[in-house]
Amino acid sequence: MLGRLGMQSRPAERLADLLRSSERAVVLTGAGISVPSGIPDFRTPGKGLWEKVNPMEVAHIDVFRREPDRFWHFYGDRFASLRDIEPNRAHSVVAELERRGIVRGVITQNIDRLHRAAGSENVIEVHGSIELCVCPECGGRVGIDRVMELLAAGEGAPECAACIAPLKPNVVLFGEMLPEAAMMDAYALASEADLMLCIGSSLEVYPVASLPGVAKDAGARLALVTQGETPYDRDADVKLNGDVVDELEAVLAAL
């Protein structure tokens, strides 16, 4: 144990200490945690399928309403690219922290389902997920596998079999509000937390970006595992800015 004493000042050790001493830790994640799974952060220009289109223009609720075929031409690629990817070790560490009773829940901006795939159970997906599509007419739900079949069989938008209306992915599109129930859950979790651990998010997109402030104001400590600056760098009790997998594995090893 003497060796560990000498490492107390290391950020991973400091974060492990914070996790050990907290009772109601909450994790908040953004695109950065899924990058090691091969999902490019679309805010990084010139990457993969984001090269040819501006997602902020085409993944917009107005495009879905006016030109559902064009919308789905883009979104079909997105579904295909996300459907078969696997969670990485960073997702696994987050799931392990919940299994050990250290973390109460995960609030994520990601729509990729990877937290659930890694074993996290209390997951609040504030931007929705690709798991389902919804019929705007009747509210009917269709799973991603069936949607992919419909996309493969036809040229345009997949439709609700009952209403012949274009299905909408159960994700928050540009121009849409975040789902109220999920945000209420996220605010409740944040305001009750005694530690908020933000992973892979630049914490710049509101209203999610307000959650660390909500937690901090309620007395929580703040930990960041993210590359690049965030508006909360000065408020954070500890910041780890290396590779997200390496950092979280170091934290788990130090617990």
Site string for Zn ion, 9-48 (x = CB under 5 A): ----------------------------------------
Q: What Rg, from alpha-carbon coordinates, does the chain have?
A: 19
Of the candidate residues 86, 121, 137, 217, the single one contacting Zn ion (CB under 5 A): 137
Q: Does the protein bind Zn ion through residue 156 (CB under 5 A)? A: no
Q: Tell me the HSE value of 132 on the side-chain side, using a 13 A CA sphere.
A: 11
Single-letter amino acid code for the residue at 246: D
Q: Does the protein bind Zn ion through residue 242 (CB under 5 A)? A: no
> Quick one: 40 or 140, whose CB is closer to Zn ion?
140
* Active-site annotation holds for 127: yes
Task: Report CA dihedral (205, 207, 210, 215) to the nearest 10 degrees.
Answer: -130
Distances (CA, A) of 162 to 50, 158, 166, 168, 236: 33, 12, 11, 15, 51
How many whole angstroms separate alpha carbon 254 and alpha carbon 150? Answer: 48
> Quick one: 57 or 137, whose CB is closer to Zn ion?
137
Q: Of 157-216, which residues contact Zn ion (CB under 5 A)? A: 160, 162-163
Q: Does the protein bind Zn ion through residue 133 (CB under 5 A)? A: no
> Quick one: 162 or 184, whose CB is closer to Zn ion?
162
Angle at CA of residue 181, ends 179 and 186, nearest 5° = 95
Among the listed ranges 25-33, 39-47, 135-143, 148-156, the one in contact with Zn ion (CB under 5 A) is: 135-143
Q: Does the protein bind Zn ion through residue 7 (CB under 5 A)? A: no
- Whether 139 and 171 have beta carbons less than 8 Å apart is answered as no
> Which residues participate in catalysis according to the annotation?
127
Residue ranges binding Zn ion (CB under 5 A): 135, 137-138, 140, 160, 162-163
